[in-house]
Structure 1
Amino acid sequence: MTRRHLRRPRRKRCQLSKRPTLRFSPYAWAKLLFLRDAGPTEVGGFGITEQDDLLCVNDIVIVEQHCTEMTVEFSDTAVADFFEDQVELGRRPEQFARIWIHTHPGDSPLPSPVDVRTFERVFGNCDWAVMFIIAQGGRTYADLYWRHGGPAQLRMQIEVDYKSPFPAADHQTWSEEYDSCVRELSSQSLLSKREGQDWFCDNRHNTGHYQNSTPLFDFREAD
């Protein structure tokens, strides 16, 4: 046998080109970085897409939330209002309620076990959904989950798409949105606020809450 035949078989590696890609418009990406760096806390929101391109985020919307460096709580009323506003704009749930976006103030974008369990419970009845996390240092994490043909998930590539036209950055509007939605709390204040409430808590990383009062989307988000 030749030396070539004696070599150990190589494991086939999953090529990056075969992974699905989550794309951001330059406007959405710039806004995401602005929101991530606007304060010392975690920030959460939703990716907005067009009906014919559901994996291309062209805007990010945040709702009223109470945040610390390790926790996020979404206002139930604000989430219900967000859903109503999006429906009035003519959007379907897959355009505004399938891509969950949040930041991690630290260097790691990896989801906590509670992130994973919460995502599975919240999006378990959806045809598909995406969990996207960006850390302070710029590292990202994205998973695509879907149910057709059996539950499955795939790690995604991240891309900023410069091919299509996009609006200019609007720091003033973004700052106003951040100031109107994000309420910074001390960790002790948040613990006191949670007494008697059904929160999910992950001691390794972050904790958050979001429960929509409408039947479209029952989401308690915990980092």
Structure 2
Amino acid sequence: MKPLLRRQLRRPRQKKFRKPTLKFSPTAWSKLRYLRDLGPSEVGAFGISDPEQLLCVQDIELVSQRCTEVTVKFDDAAVADFFESHSDAGRQPQEFGRIWIHTHPGSSALPSAVDVETFERCFGRCDWAVMCILARNDSVYAELRWRQGNVLLPMQVEIDYSQPFQGTEFQEWEYEYQDNVLIEEHHLSHAQDWGFDEPTSLAEWNDQDRMQVLEEFGAPHQPVRETGNASGTNWQDRCTPRSTLDAQHSGELP
């Protein structure tokens, strides 16, 4: 067979799919981990983006919410105030209202059935939106929803050290948590808001509903990557340990 004909009969090479990347500044990532570890429940927030890089999160901002070990419910009035304040500051909705972030108290960052339903219901009419989940063991999951064509793309998550970033502000972050997060233990008083009627206790659920909600306590998901120049130092080393902060609050340290 002639070489030219052989080349013509070859199957075309498939292009390798490259996942889109959700980036966090070291400060934003530090804040997200700190908020996650302040309590036993899930915590939800909006990611504030760089106007020039909408998939680069520069800050994490809480709104008033009720949380359990398996759900987060934002207060409608608080969300409206959040959008109004950022709009008044001259920001566009895609800079502050498209990246939904929340934590899982378990070891898996995979979205539960409740997460999927909430993402569809609250962000389904946006041109694009991102759901990002951080689990207790630092496993992370992120997906980009593109309304045109109803496309869902898995994302990789990176901590970006290539841009300047601010230091940690543990005390301010804790005040923000205390002002906005109300933990509801062992029951879901807002069941109807999430698309199905749950009993007041996990023990009372049928097997199917229990598996849907507790699936997040499975295997870990993908790790977080670090990019840019971290000067050979893990980002955690840049943060004041929580024990030191507690000692400062108690007056044991100057």
Is the structural similarity TM-score above 0.5? yes
Q: Which amino acid aligns with 2:145?
A: Y
Q: Does 1:200 align with 2:195?
A: yes
**Per-residue deviation, residues 158-215 of structure 1 (Å, max 9, x unmatched):** 1000010011000010010001111112224x43xx38x5443464227xxxxxxxxx
Q: Post-superposition shift, 1:125?
A: 2.1
Alpha-carbon separation, structure 1, partners of 2:119 and 2:70:
18
Higher RCO, 1 vs 2 (CA within 8 Å, ≥6 residues apart): 1
Q: Number of aligned pairs?
A: 190
Q: Post-superposition shift, 1:14?
A: 5.0
What TM-score comes out, normalization by structure 1 length?
0.78
Partner-residue secondary structure (3-state), 1:187: coil
Alpha-carbon separation, structure 1, partners of 2:15 and 2:33:
32
Q: Post-superposition shift, 1:137?
A: 0.8
Matches within 5 A, 1:53-68: 53-68=53-68
Q: Does 1:178 align with 2:173?
A: no
Uncovered stretches (5+) of structure 2, i.e. residues with no partner: 1-13, 197-208, 215-254
Q: Post-superposition shift, 1:79?
A: 1.0
Partner-residue secondary structure (3-state), 1:176: helix
Uncovered stretches (5+) of structure 1, i.e. residues with no partner: 1-11, 207-223
Alpha-carbon separation, structure 2, partners of 1:122 and 1:55:
19
Partner-residue secondary structure (3-state), 2:213: coil
Alpha-carbon separation, structure 2, partners of 1:36 and 1:118:
20
Match of 1:83 in 2: 83
Partner-residue secondary structure (3-state), 2:108: coil
Alpha-carbon separation, structure 2, partners of 1:175 and 1:198:
28
Contact 2:142 2:154 in 1 (8 A): yes
Match of 1:220 in 2: none
Higher CA-based Rg: 2
Change (3 A) 1:198 1:133: closer
Contact 2:98 2:129 in 1 (8 A): yes
Partner-residue secondary structure (3-state), 2:166: coil
Partner-residue secondary structure (3-state), 1:137: coil
What TM-score comes out, normalization by structure 2 length?
0.69
Alpha-carbon separation, structure 1, partners of 2:15 and 2:41:
37
Match of 1:97 in 2: 97
More helix by share: 2
Matches within 5 A, 1:28-67: 28-67=28-67
Determine what percentage of the aligned residue pairs are the same residue: 54
Partner-residue secondary structure (3-state), 2:165: coil
**Per-residue deviation, residues 66-119 of structure 1 (Å, max 9, x unmatched):** 112122221111111111111111111101111000000001111112322332
Alpha-carbon separation, structure 2, partners of 1:38 and 1:186:
15
Change (3 A) 1:199 1:147: closer
Q: Which amino acid aligns with 1:200?
A: G
Contact 2:25 2:58 in 1 (8 A): yes
**Per-residue deviation, residues 137-159 of structure 1 (Å, max 9, x unmatched):** 110000011133x2212111110
Q: Which amino acid aligns with 1:205?
A: V
Q: Calculate the aligned-residue CA RMSD, in Å.
A: 2.2
